Amino acid sequence: MERNNLYPIFLKTQQLETLIVGGGFVAFEKLSFLLKSSIGSKVTMVSAFFREETKDLANKFDVKMIVDNYNNSYLENKHIVIATTDNVEVNIEVYKDCKERNILVNVADNPPYCDFYMGGIVTKGNVKIAISTNGKSPTTAKRLRQFFEEVLPENIDDLVKNLNEYRKTIKGNFEEKVEKLNEFTKSLVEK
């Protein structure tokens, strides 16, 4: 059986510089996804053209838009790059330029040219669930996201906040605190 060996992490994109290369529908989709999950992300976009809806979204969230063709100077001081152009050669050039500079890169719809995938995300207050299909089926990730959005109660954030307050009152070392929290919360997963 094939296995997903990706390691999930949650990035503080407000502290990182992201570049999106492209201004078409895929760029709009990636920008929407990023801003929905991480309001306040620092994003620059470079493209010879931008769709109107992309311009509207970018203006709402203070995204810097540069009307130009891609060149590697746009990678300066960037931590994450997403290539979304409809030109395969340009996307691969972006990938190679990023690899030379140790910048994390995602070439949309081209898994061999990705250091990371942008999976489905469910957010309920402080609770965030990331869903990955190993780049094989974004549609499955989307359906799983919709499922979790429905089944997770809106008040799950209250539980998180209450457990955080309880955690602050527990005495002992890390291991003892984990043991007490595990005991306190085990009824959440009992059938």
| Domain residue limits, the chain | 17-118, 119-152, 156-188
Question: Which amino acid appears at position 149 of this protein?
Answer: E
Phi, psi of 113, deg, nearest 5: -105, 40
99-135 pLDDT, tens per residue?
999 999 999 989 899 999 888 899 888 899 999 988 7
Is the domain spanning 17-118 CATH 3.40.50.720? The answer is yes
Q: Is the pLDDT of residue 16 over 90?
A: yes
Alpha-carbon distance of 148 to 73, in angstroms, equals 41
| Residue reference for tokens 């994390």 | 104
pLDDT at 191: 64
pLDDT confidence bin for 4, thresholds 50/70/90? confident
What average pLDDT does range 28-45 have in this prediction?
Answer: 95
Alpha carbon 190 to its chain's center: 31
pLDDT at 172: 82
pTM for the predicted model, two decimal places:
0.86
